Amino acid sequence: MRSNGRQRRSVARPAKTKQPAVRRSAPSNRPWQLLSTSHRHTDRLGQAIGRALRGGETIALYGPLGAGKTALVRGIAQGLGASPTAISSPTFVVIHEYNQGRLPLAHVDLYRIRSPRELESTGLTEYFSGQTVTVIEWADKGLAALPQDRIEIMLNHRAARSRTIQFRATGPKSDEVISLARRQYGKTERAPQASPRRALKREATTRS
Ligand SMILES: Nc1ncnc2c1ncn2[C@@H]1O[C@H](COP(=O)(O)OP(=O)(O)OP(=O)(O)O)[C@@H](O)[C@H]1O
Ligand SMILES: [Mg+2]
């Protein structure tokens, strides 16, 4: 029996050395950053996030004018099963609510908010307690009011049609959603695209 034990140990050793490499490649809180090379690319990313949402999440969007925040919200709406074409920039109304998807969606734009009092008058915090998914453009203008556990997404111009997009979770619930979205997005991006040659050409022209 002892000789069997030795055999077992010698078989087990290579498996032990391989395990850490597998774990290192997939920790859930690894920062997620990617380059979107078109608005459709951003849209697919938004859809993956929308599909991963469970209800009650807050998504804080940061980035300059035209960075693609509203484009991402359209994808999120679609991932929730709502109509993406209904989504417009709520610059004057501040908050738009959509109820056609599997979860209620509140699309918020704080661009014109100038003071804490104006922020309070929007009623934003009322959205944070139920099942509503609250997506906030120009979230930096409402930082004091945001829930502690939130998904933060930073978008930035890289070239005419490319944007860097960075994700950060500030709590466990958000971390779970980002991990799930990341897996789902990875699957869709590995699947063959309708026109791979066009996609490659597009990438080559925008990454220079
Ligand atoms: N990779 C990309 N991702 C997203 N949008 C892109 C991309 N490339 C080009 N665009 C274009 O950039 C514009 C982004 O506009 P969008 O309204 O989403 O920006 P925004 O960040 O919401 O701006 P604002 O702060 O004014 O609300 C759109 O015209 C879109 O077609
Ligand atoms: Mg916008």
Which residue puts its alpha carbon closest to atom 31 of ligand 1? 39
pLDDT value at position 91? 59
Q: Which atom of ligand 1 is nearest to the CA of 67?
A: 21
- How far is C-alpha 47 from the chain's CA centre? 9
DSSP lists the bridge partners of residue 163 as: 36, 157
Question: Ligand 2 centroid vs 69 CA: distance in angstroms?
Answer: 5
Residue 34 is inside which H or E element, if any? strand 32-36
> Residues with Cβ within 6 A of ligand 1?
36, 38-39, 41-42, 63, 65-71, 89, 137, 161-163
**What is the CATH superfamily name and number for domain 28-206?**
P-loop containing nucleotide triphosphate hydrolases (3.40.50.300)
Question: Ligand 2 centroid vs 87 CA: distance in angstroms?
Answer: 10
Give CB contacts under 8 A, 24+ apart, made by 179-186: 179/28, 180/52, 181/48, 181/49, 181/51, 181/52, 182/32, 182/48, 184/48, 184/51, 184/52, 185/44, 185/45, 185/48
The C-alpha atoms of residue 138 and residue 64 are separated, in whole angstroms, by 8
- Positions of the chain with pLDDT under 70: 1-30, 89-92, 191-208
Q: Which of 39, 93, 203 is the best mutation target for the ligand 1 pocket, counting ligand atoms within 8 Å of the beta carbon and taking the most?
A: 39
Question: Ligand 2 centroid vs 177 CA: distance in angstroms?
Answer: 23
Residue 172 is inside which H or E element, if any? helix 172-190
Residue 169 is inside which H or E element, if any? strand 162-169
pLDDT value at position 90? 60
Which residue puts its alpha carbon closest to atom 10 of ligand 1? 39
pLDDT value at position 31? 81
In order, the DSSP letters of 88-153 are ---TTTSEEEE-SSSS-EEEEE-TT--SHHHHHHTTGGGGGSSS-EEEEETGGGGGGGS-SS-EEE
- How far is C-alpha 163 from the chain's CA centre? 14
Which residue puts its alpha carbon closest to atom 16 of ligand 1? 68
Residue with tokens 């859930």: 28
pTM here is: 0.80
pLDDT value at position 42? 98
